[in-house]
A = this chain, B = another copy of it.
C-alpha cells in the first residue's frame, strides 16, 4: 500500500490525489480553509473525465498530525509570496524514505526544497489542467488533466516510475521526462507572456494576445527573453518552441488565462513563480530582460492594489 500525504490541497492537489486514491493509494490530506466540510464529507469532484467522490484516509489540520512516514509527500500549493514550501513540508518530512513531489507552477521552485531536504528524492511535476474550487469540498475539473514528471534536477527514478504507474492506473496521463527542467521552462515560455499580459492589457483573451499586433509583439519579446534566460541556465529552449506555442494558441478558441481568472475573482496572482523567479535568474546570469522587468513591476503593483482598489 502506497501512503501519500497531500499538502497545499487546492483544486490541482485534490484532483490528482483523488485519482491516486482511486488507484488504491492511501491518501491523507492536510486541509486548511475547507477542513470542516472535507472532514465531514470528503471531496465531490465533478470532472470531464468522470465525476467521483474522494474520501481521504484522513483529513488533517496540520501536517504534524500525520502518523508514520509517507511514501510520497505531495505539495500542490500555489507559489505565492506568503507560501513557504519548506515550512509546509518540514513537519511531514521525517526521514529520507519519503519522496517529495512538487505539483506547482513556475521555474526554480525546486531549488530551496532540494537544499532543505538534501536526503530526500524530489520529483518535479508540471500539471496541465483546468480546475476550480467553487465551494468548500467541491472541485470542478474543466479541461486537460495531464502531468509531466521527472526527478529534480534530472532523470527518472524508480520512485517516479511507481507514482506515474499509479496515475496511469487511474487513467491520468503522466509522462515521465528525463529533463523536467526543459519541460518547466517550456511551460514558462507560455505562462510568462500570456498570463501577465492578459491581466495587464486590460483583460485580453488568448486570441487577442496572438492576433492583435501590439500584444503579439510584446508576447514575442517576452518569449525571446525567456529563451535567453533559459539558455543562460543551460536549458535548450529555442525560437521554434516559441513559434509552436504561438501557433497552438492562435488556433485554439479564445479563452481567459488562469491568471486573468484569478484577477477577475479578486484572488492573489502567482507573480513570483511566473515572473519574479525569471527576473531574478536573469539578473544572476546577467541577461537583460527589460520587457519582463516592465511587466513584473506592473504586475506586482496590480497584485498588491487588487481589483477592488484595496491594498493587500
A contacts, CB < 8 Å to B: 197, 200-204, 208, 212, 214-215, 217-218, 221, 290-291, 293-298, 300-307, 309
Q: Is the CB of A221 within 8 A of B290?
A: yes
Report how many copies the assembly holds: 2
A290-B294, A294-B290 in contact; A301/B214 too (CB < 8 A)? yes
Contact of A221 among B200, B217, B294, B300 (CB under 8 A): B294
Shortest distance from the beta carbon of A212 to any chain B beta carbon, whole Å? 7
Q: Is the CB of A305 within 8 A of B204?
A: yes
- Among the interface residues A203, A204, A218, A303, which one has the most CB atoms of the partner chain B within 10 A? A218
4 further A-B pairs in the complex, CB-CB below 8 A; given A215-B297, A218-B298: A201-B302, A202-B302, A218-B294, A291-B291
Q: Which residue of chain B is the closest to A290 with respect to CB atoms?
A: B290
Shortest distance from the beta carbon of A200 to any chain B beta carbon, whole Å? 5
A214-B296, A296-B214 in contact; A202/B301 too (CB < 8 A)? yes
Residues of B within 8 A of A217 (CB): 293, 297
Residues of B within 8 A of A303 (CB): 202
Bound Cα distance A217, B304 (Å)? 16
Q: Is the CB of A301 within 8 A of B212?
A: yes
Residues of B within 8 A of A293 (CB): 217-218, 221, 291
- Among the interface residues A212, A295, A298, which one has the most CB atoms of the partner chain B within 10 A? A298
23 A-B residue pairs with CB within 8 Å = A200-B298, A201-B298, A201-B302, A201-B305, A202-B298, A202-B304, A202-B305, A202-B307, A208-B301, A214-B296, A214-B297, A214-B301, A215-B297, A215-B301, A217-B293, A218-B294, A218-B297, A221-B294, A290-B291, A291-B291, A291-B293, A291-B294, A294-B294
Q: In terms of DSSP, what is the predominant structure of the interface of chain A?
A: helix
Bound Cα distance A267, B202 (Å)? 14
Shortest distance from the beta carbon of A311 to any chain B beta carbon, whole Å? 9
Shortest distance from the beta carbon of A196 to any chain B beta carbon, whole Å? 9
Bound Cα distance A161, B224 (Å)? 53
- Among the interface residues A296, A297, A305, which one has the most CB atoms of the partner chain B within 10 A? A297
Q: Is the CB of A202 within 8 A of B296?
A: no
Shortest distance from the beta carbon of A220 to any chain B beta carbon, whole Å? 10
Q: Which residue of chain B is the closest to A219 with respect to CB atoms?
A: B297
Q: Is the CB of B297 within 8 A of A295?
A: no
Q: Is the CB of A301 within 8 A of B204?
A: yes
Shortest distance from the beta carbon of A21 to any chain B beta carbon, whole Å? 41
Residues of B within 8 A of A215 (CB): 297-298, 301
Bound Cα distance A290, B212 (Å)? 18
